[in-house]
DNA sequence: CGTCCACTGGAATCAAGGGTCT
DNA sequence: AGACCCTTGATTCCAGTGGACG
């Protein structure tokens, strides 16, 4: 028995309604992937020869977020390891290009999964790409097996950095004598291949598999499949799963969102001390998720970006008219002046606005006013909570403390 | 129908800051 | 220590461009 501490009372009164939290994580790989057996079989059929040291075709997997692409690949990876426990014939490597989206980052990540000897690992910065390429090639060839490399969210990295890595990976087989590499690219952008150079395009897309979005019924099955193990009988009100499924089906059948929704709903119920999860919890969870997503993004913004955003907010508060890039820039310079921050060029600010637009924090569309020029019409599209968060940011304390000499109090 | 404004989009380039290697 | 390497954010330059106005 441990001594009591400040956590004991919490631990004792805590009511637990989720038996096993990790089952509800979207990263968890269930024993059984409902409505995806057909896709699994398609991939297995292509990949299977690797167990006999034959190189499988490269595969390009296309499908919207939350359609099970990653889950299927992880599942296959798990099975592949079961079939070849010592990885004598084939090694399965999974790299998510979204987390690390620089060429070096991807290569670093990938290489260190491939390279097992600790003293041969690649340092996380400092080397030239060429050097990694050649070390990696050498290492791979020395091990005489099939490497299956899964590149998740492949389009992310590509858009930013061109196709160097993919060129390397798709042509590496020409240099290899003993080992072979086969690539499985995962993308949620159906038009991804358009950007590729013809050579890479044909290599990468030797086989294409398309993952359609889930419909409501399928989403329900997926949720029930997990809920079965995560909750005791009767903890979920009967309408909870259908509600989660319905909400997520509206968002392009995203199973990850559906799971998040269920997990967070349960979390909230738990923290409230409720014995059951109800649709009210789900509504609350949906709200929380949306808010968290935006505030997470805001936290990672540069000070400059935040300043631009603040400028947009203030512009909107001054008058509700739609604003232009010029308006935002003027106000932006004004803010910079007060908080003593060097101001960027208009060009750069216009760029930052476009970035904020892509993140969905502001809404901007190009509009032409004929002779009066062409500009972006910018609207703010964030809830109050976020606005307050920006205003409360440390960087702007000085700004809000500052009172222009002529200013009269505004209520 | 052409002009011409006030930006946009893209590309090339720089500087600073992380690091390794010899 | 000095030579290199990669990444990121910012700067600079320049060629468009949609459409209201004349």
For residue range A292-308, list pLDDT tens digits in order.
Answer: 888 888 887 888 888 88
Looking at residue A117, its pLDDT comes to 86
Q: Specify if A408 maps to a domain.
A: no
Instruction: State whether the beta carbon of A162 lies below 7 angstroms from any atom of strand B.
Output: no
Q: Distances from the Cα of A296 to the Cαs of A144, A301, A359, in angstroms?
A: 44, 9, 11
Q: A58 pairs with which residues across the strands?
A: none
Q: Specify if A350 maps to a domain.
A: yes
Instruction: State whether the beta carbon of A370 lies below 7 angstroms from any atom of strand C.
Output: yes
Of A242, A274, A298, which residue is a domain's last?
A298
Do A182 and A329 lie in one domain? The reply is no
pLDDT exceeds cutoff 60 at A194: yes
Do A248 and A309 lie in one domain? The reply is no
Instruction: State whether the beta carbon of A325 lies below 7 angstroms from any atom of strand B.
Output: yes
Å from the A324 CA to the C19 C1': 17
Number of domains in chain A: 3
Do A196 and A91 lie in one domain? The reply is yes
Looking at residue A22, its pLDDT comes to 87
Q: Distances from the Cα of A10 to the Cαs of A70, A133, A321, A394, A401, in angstroms?
A: 37, 53, 50, 33, 40
Do A235 and A345 lie in one domain? The reply is no
| CATH code for position A40 | 3.40.50.300
Looking at residue A382, its pLDDT comes to 80
Instruction: State whether the beta carbon of A375 lies below 7 angstroms from any atom of strand B.
Output: yes
Q: Specify if A21 maps to a domain.
A: no
* pLDDT digits 0-9 by tens, A200-212: 788 888 899 999 9
Å from the A348 CA to the B10 C1': 13
Name the region of A370 (left: φ>0; alpha: ψ -120 to 50; beta: rest): left
Whole-prediction pTM value? 0.81
Instruction: State whether the beta carbon of A130 lies below 7 angstroms from any atom of strand C.
Output: yes
Q: Specify if A67 maps to a domain.
A: yes
Higher pLDDT among residues A40 and A387, named by residue: A40
Of A273, A298, A323, which residue is a domain's last?
A298
DSSP per-residue codes, A170-197: HHHHHH-SS-EEEEEEEES-TTGGGGS-
* Contact call for residues A269 and A236 (beta carbons, < 8 A): no
Q: A207 pairs with which residues across the strands?
A: A59
Instruction: State whether the beta carbon of A72 lies below 7 angstroms from any atom of strand C.
Output: no
| Nearest protein residue by Cα to C1' of nucleotide C21 | A371
* pLDDT digits 0-9 by tens, A137-177: 999 999 999 999 999 988 877 666 666 788 888 888 988 99
Instruction: State whether the beta carbon of A300 lies below 7 angstroms from any atom of strand C.
Output: no
Q: A210 pairs with which residues across the strands?
A: A62
Do A268 and A360 lie in one domain? The reply is no
Q: Identify which of A85, A142, A80, A136 has the alpha carbon closest to the alpha carbon of residue A108.
A: A136
Q: Distances from the Cα of A132 to the Cαs of A136, A148, A171, A263, A269, in angstroms?
A: 6, 18, 15, 41, 50
* Contact call for residues A227 and A20 (beta carbons, < 8 A): no
User: Nucleotides on strand B with an atom closer than 7 A to protein CB?
Assistant: 3-11, 18-21
Do A252 and A203 lie in one domain? The reply is no
Do A157 and A44 lie in one domain? The reply is yes
Q: Specify if A207 maps to a domain.
A: yes
Looking at residue A410, its pLDDT comes to 47
Radius of gyration of chain A (CA): 26
For A116, residues 6+ apart whose C-beta sits below 8 A from its C-beta are none
Of A211, A244, A275, which residue is a domain's last?
A211
| CATH code for position A354 | 1.10.10.10
Q: Specify if A46 maps to a domain.
A: yes
Do A200 and A220 lie in one domain? The reply is no
pLDDT band at A196 (very low <50, low <70, confident <90, very high): confident
DSSP per-residue codes, A348-383: HHHHHHHHHHHTTSEEEEEEE-GGG-EEEEEEE---
Å from the A341 CA to the B3 C1': 39
Provide the domain limits for residue A257.
214-298
- What's the CA dihedral at A249, A253, A255, A258 to 10 degrees? -20
Q: Specify if A309 maps to a domain.
A: yes
Do A155 and A268 lie in one domain? The reply is no
Q: Specify if A18 maps to a domain.
A: no
Do A76 and A140 lie in one domain? The reply is yes
Q: Identify which of A333, A328, A320 has the alpha carbon closest to the alpha carbon of residue A353.
A: A328
Q: A187 pairs with which residues across the strands?
A: A62
Do A157 and A198 lie in one domain? The reply is yes
Task: Give the count of beta carbons closer than 10 Å to the beta carbon of residue A154.
Answer: 27
User: Nucleotides on strand C with an atom closer than 7 A to protein CB?
Assistant: 4-14, 16-21
| CATH code for position A251 | 1.10.8.60
Instruction: State whether the beta carbon of A324 lies below 7 angstroms from any atom of strand B.
Output: yes
Higher pLDDT among residues A218 and A204, named by residue: A218
Chain A span 95-134 residues with beta carbon within 7 Å of strand B: 123-127
Question: SS3 of A403, please?
Answer: coil
Do A109 and A188 lie in one domain? The reply is yes
Task: Give the count of beta carbons closer than 10 Å to the beta carbon of residue A31.
Answer: 7
């Amino acid at each position: 028995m441990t001594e009591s501490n400040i956590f004991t009372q919490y631990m004792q009164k805590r009511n637990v309604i989720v038996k096993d939290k990790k089952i509800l994580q979207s990263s968890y790989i269930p024993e059984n992937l409902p409505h995806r057996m057909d896709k699994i079989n398609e991939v297995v059929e292509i990949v299977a020869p690797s167990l006999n040291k034959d190189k499988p075709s490269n595969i390009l997997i296309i499908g919207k977020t939350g359609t099970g692409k990653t889950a299927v690949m992880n599942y296959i990876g798990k099975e592949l390891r079961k079939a070849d426990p010592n990885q004598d014939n084939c090694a399965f490597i999974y790299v998510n290009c979204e987390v690390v989206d620089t060429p070096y980052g991807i290569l670093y990540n990938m290489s260190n999964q491939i390279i097992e000897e600790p003293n041969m690992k690649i340092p996380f910065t400092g080397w030239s790409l060429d050097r990694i390429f050649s070390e990696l090639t050498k290492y791979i060839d020395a091990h005489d097996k099939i490497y299956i490399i899964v590149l998740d969210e492949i389009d992310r990295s590509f858009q930013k950095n061109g196709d160097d890595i993919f060129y390397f990976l798709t042509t590496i087989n020409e240099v290899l004598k003993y080992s072979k590499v086969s690539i499985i690219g995962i993308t949620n952008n159906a038009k991804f291949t358009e950007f590729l150079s013809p050579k890479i395009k044909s290599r990468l897309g030797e086989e294409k598999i398309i993952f359609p979005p889930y419909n409501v019924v399928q989403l329900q099955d997926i949720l029930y499949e997990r809920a079965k193990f995560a909750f005791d009988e009767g903890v979920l009100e009967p309408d909870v799963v259908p509600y989660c499924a319905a909400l997520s089906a509206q968002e392009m059948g995203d199973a990850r969102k559906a799971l998040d929704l269920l997990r967070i709903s349960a979390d909230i119920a738990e923290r409230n001390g409720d014995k059951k999860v109800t649709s009210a919890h789900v509504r609350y969870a949906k709200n929380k998720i949306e808010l968290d997503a935006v505030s997470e993004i805001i936290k990672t913004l540069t000070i400059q970006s935040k300043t631009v955003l603040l400028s947009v907010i203030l512009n909107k508060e001054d008058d509700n008219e739609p604003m232009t890039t010029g308006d935002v820039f003027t106000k932006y310079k004004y803010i910079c002046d007060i908080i003593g921050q060097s101001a960027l060029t208009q060009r750069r600010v216009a760029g930052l606005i476009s970035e904020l637009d892509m993140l969905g924090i502001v809404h901007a569309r190009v509009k032409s006013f004929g002779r009066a020029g062409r500009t972006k019409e910018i609207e703010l599209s964030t809830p109050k909570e976020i606005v307050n968060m920006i205003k409360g940011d440390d960087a702007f304390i000085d700004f809000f403390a500052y009172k222009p000499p002529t200013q009269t109090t505004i209520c």
